Structure 1
């Protein structure tokens, strides 16, 4: 028996997508609410929102194999992979190139929990997903988690899509991840904020600062109020959720060197801490970025900003320990 699991056929079997777009018999993910895309006025953000970080098929199945037909669109040539995870353990990592692809992966005998993680960067168009056996959607996780951030949350340099730090945290804690990591585009955009508030969440993490500092898009006058406004809107949208605000991890060149509007990473961390200290909310938590990747971990940064694959694994370990207790 062959079962078709395209997102439009079995939407309940897919996790991490905010919406889907159909074209020429294929589907592509959206990580912004599709109805808001025309209000973005930021083509770079829209391009990142079409990439499939954190999106995966998740079923319980006795299938003998899984097959995925699709097409990968890349704007930059890089190593790109699909991860097949069985019962929480990486079963097969498959390299794919830009253009049409077909992946066929044999599965172990018996009934298992299967996850197929799409690439964390590039646009993945899905034409067909087939299992040779029965399949049912996995159980609903007890915790729905939205992770907002920059390229350090999208994690292009991770070993594979199941080893980005958000994926590692979600797998360790059995949380239902929606990854809103947008490479270069974490600028507190209204469409991103409306997406965060528009999708169900029990935990929301906000990794803030590095793109604003690098792009000099907010000054000392505007950054604090924008952070406060973001937090207030997320709280209004999710009255009972735990909210974690993560300050920037260490980046030696940016720590004390002012950008074009006079902002340093050290100042940004202080500004974020001041906002949280002035907010009366016992479900709001601060995570200091240098406790996740600090000066002692600089060898795990490929370019003094972005972690290596090993760096993302360390981030996953440390952030699982930091975020897990928020659901206690």
Structure 2
């Protein structure tokens, strides 16, 4: 194997785990698929992907945005054996919430990561020292197969405990986060980490077209909060007309409601895109009209009795006059812009969660 291997920091044998070992507490995955080169974590079940009739959707759906595994351990180091496509995002390793390694990956690679948090990095690693929460975030862009995960210098190795609320979020490249500095610094990852939420990211770059398989997936996932970022792909790809867009929004939300009739569900309308706001696309929709039609669909569902449906106005997240400051290309947030989105969308979503039920 080739890659970015670092020198080991502890003596003794490595305990190797297969990716489906229950000690590796995965989050943000619907299934782990065994392949010839390892295990492919999927955010959406692979068996029904063909129903989209889109190779592009299938490709983006196989990218592990928001996918990570966590352990509670006193190990001195973790070793990752991965098979990664070229031009992928990096791998992030966090210890007690702090980023200790951001590693570029490509091809068949092995990465050895010391697990001492920053404050202890200069101290010698000793087996049996205080345990820490270790979380490995796979690249949010590119395809990753996990072959093996190894730990060295440990006495304790337990699955991560994640008691926080489950948040499922769906959307376009704005949710997939194309320019984030790393997989743990997308706006969705930042939003979840700051609040202790369990994120399941269903952002698909260029592919947020209200596919029924996505609605059915969300319907079946455990959740305490759901958000759907809608509209920008519909405008750019002309996938719905002025006649069909509103009913499609209603149908998607109602399918989700079949599994989650009472949960808070936030509909995030398109963020600003200055060159597209009032320019009709080939089917006659402006971005303003997409935004208005999305809100109209929400109001219809509210009138029909949905009491926990909410709108997050995309123009309140990034107004038109701030797009140049926070977007890399007039559409996608920069790495710093991801933090801006987290700071603005996070509180809006947090306010929708119900207080914990009394025991």
Q: What band does the TM-score fall into relative to the shorter chain?
A: over 0.9
Q: Does 1:84 align with 2:110?
A: no
Which of 162, 169, 172 is the aligned partner of 1:147?
169
In the superposition, relative to structure 1, how do residues 208 and 5 fare at CA in structure 2: closer, same or farther (>3 Å)? farther
Please say if residues 238 and 282 of structure 2, whose CA atoms lie closer than 8 Å, have aligned partners that are also in contact: yes
Structure 1 residue 12: Cα displacement: 5.7
Identify the range of structure 1 (206-215 vs 20-29) with the bigger mean alpha-carbon deviation.
20-29
Structure 1 residue 144: Cα displacement: 0.8
Q: Whole-Å Cα distance in 2 between the matches of residues 3 and 176 of structure 1?
A: 27
Residue 232 of structure 1 corresponds to which residue in structure 2?
254
Q: Whole-Å Cα distance in 1 between the matches of residues 275 and 297 of structure 2?
A: 25
Q: Does 1:323 align with 2:349?
A: yes
Q: Does 1:305 align with 2:325?
A: no
Q: Whole-Å Cα distance in 2 between the matches of residues 46 and 7 of structure 1?
A: 22
Structure 1 residue 11: Cα displacement: 6.8
Q: Tell me the SS of whatever aligns to 1:254.
A: coil
Residue 119 of structure 1 corresponds to which residue in structure 2?
139
Q: Whole-Å Cα distance in 1 between the matches of residues 160 and 289 of structure 2?
A: 44
Q: Whole-Å Cα distance in 2 between the matches of residues 95 and 315 of structure 1?
A: 25
Q: Does 1:294 align with 2:319?
A: yes
Q: Does 1:7 align with 2:19?
A: yes
Q: Whole-Å Cα distance in 2 between the matches of residues 197 and 2 of structure 1?
A: 40
Which of 4, 14, 36 is the aligned partner of 2:48?
36
Identify the range of structure 1 (30-39 vs 149-158) with the bigger mean alpha-carbon deviation.
30-39
Q: Tell me the SS of whatever aligns to 1:148.
A: strand
Query: How many residues get paired?
Result: 324
Deviations 1:6-32 (A, max 9, x none): 331227611111112111250112222
Q: What aligned pairs does 1:139-288 form with structure 2 within 5 A after superposition?
A: 139-279=161-301, 280-288=305-313
Please say if residues 178 and 332 of structure 2, whose CA atoms lie closer than 8 Å, have aligned partners that are also in contact: no
Q: Tell me the SS of whatever aligns to 1:253.
A: coil
| TM-score, structure 1 as length reference | 0.95
Residue 103 of structure 1 corresponds to which residue in structure 2?
111
Q: Whole-Å Cα distance in 1 between the matches of residues 34 and 67 of structure 2?
A: 16
Query: Which 5+ residue runs of structure 2 have no aligned equivalent?
Result: 1-12, 117-128, 355-359
Q: Whole-Å Cα distance in 1 between the matches of residues 163 and 17 of structure 2?
A: 20
| TM-score, structure 2 as length reference | 0.87
Q: Whole-Å Cα distance in 2 between the matches of residues 283 and 59 of structure 1?
A: 35
Q: Tell me the SS of whatever aligns to 2:248.
A: helix
Q: Whole-Å Cα distance in 2 between the matches of residues 144 and 270 of structure 1?
A: 29
Please say if residues 302 and 308 of structure 1, whose CA atoms lie closer than 8 Å, have aligned partners that are also in contact: yes
Identify the range of structure 1 (29-38 vs 176-185) with the bigger mean alpha-carbon deviation.
29-38
Q: Tell me the SS of whatever aligns to 2:275.
A: helix
Q: Tell me the SS of whatever aligns to 2:321.
A: helix
Please say if residues 173 and 203 of structure 2, whose CA atoms lie closer than 8 Å, have aligned partners that are also in contact: yes
Please say if residues 272 and 320 of structure 2, whose CA atoms lie closer than 8 Å, have aligned partners that are also in contact: yes
